[in-house]
Amino acid sequence: MKRSFIIFGLFAICLLGRADSIDDKVHAAMERQHIPGLSLAIIKDGKILKTAGYGFANVEKKIAATPETIYELASVSKQFVAAGTMLLVEQGKVNLDEPIATYLHNTPAAWSNVTVRRLLSHTAGFKRDDPLGLRSNPSDAEMFEAIAKTPLQSDPGKEWSYSNAGYNLWSFALAEQTSESWDKYLAEKIFKPLHMDNTFHISTRATATNFAVGYMTNKLGDWRRAPKIDRTFASGGIASTVLDMAKWDAALYTEQILKRSSFDELITRAKLSNGEPVKTQTGWSYGLGWGVGTTVNGHKAMSHNGSRPGFSTYIMRCYEDKLTVVILCNEWHVELAPLGRRIVSEYLP
């Protein structure tokens, strides 16, 4: 008993030291990038090792950030769109290699080689951003018309080019195939079954009491509130907490939502029409809604970041090691990936 107690004590001291080291890394990153509030979750084998909140979810009211704080996920939302699409693939309702015209009416002839897979892997040739801009709040029909009138920047399959417009376009097809809006479909098929009770469309922000205020740093280095943009489209329209993201992470190791074959599609490196694998600006590749590559010491990983006015987000899943880091914060244009990699290196030295 005495020897076992000593071993347990040494293990606890190691964990405590690691926790202190992680806190130090988070505080340093927040100070360096002037982040008002941040929430963190570290998950191993589908179970939470550490959750914490740092700084303020609301600077003016001095409301602390906690693991229960809700943040806009920005482009981290795309992984849910891709997962929801794979559920339709499992049902035989969608074929990833069929043209989008199969699933969406009134598409231009120029999109004849725009397939579902190319939309979800950012190889369809669409420009990066919505043609109507972030600050507008158009209807689905207005957004579709604007995208349809915008020429492709490259032939479908020729190059990898990150595109919010492509994901928003696919959300219209999702609505046609499911007879409901993309966000209601994801809530029914993913969020509700996983009891992700604080994950929803950002337009319902007003009903949540623990929603973080989004900030932007002005030229004087002071925080000012970012404009609220209740976009209704799929490229970045979901809000969540690190605790709910931990539930999502755990589900991806099971077949509770997706079959193993569907998960494998998410992390399969996309290929261009010439057969070359996709390579992003970071040197990673891209699957469906996820960046795929290797992290510290060659460990395989899938990751995604997000950024929209007032919020920056990041998730990294070292899926073979069953280690995940989720970081959400309420400051725009923040690089969270380096912090995520430093935290991963604590567990995968």
Could you report the per-residue pLDDT of 218-261, keeping only the tens digit for each? 877 789 999 877 666 889 999 999 999 999 999 999 999 999 99
Domain presence at residue 2: no
Residue 59 structural domain? 22-92+191-347
Per-residue pLDDT at 2 = 34
Per-residue pLDDT at 79 = 98
Per-residue pLDDT at 228 = 79
Tally of domains in the chain: 1
Domain presence at residue 152: no
Domain presence at residue 28: yes
Low-confidence ranges of the chain (pLDDT < 50): 1-16
Per-residue pLDDT at 12 = 33
d(CA 196, CA 70): 12
Domain presence at residue 286: yes
Domain presence at residue 164: no
Domain CATH for 308: 3.40.710.10
Q: What is the b/e burial string over 290-305, where b = at least 16 CB atoms within 10 angstroms of the residue's CB? A: bbbbebeeebebbbbb
d(CA 317, CA 321): 9
Domain presence at residue 161: no
d(CA 45, CA 63): 32
Domain presence at residue 100: no
Domain presence at residue 334: yes
Per-residue pLDDT at 259 = 98
Per-residue pLDDT at 9 = 33
Radius of gyration of the chain (CA): 20
pTM of the model: 0.92
Contact by Cβ (8 Å): 132, 142: yes
Distances (CA, A) of 84 to 234, 273, 290: 11, 25, 14
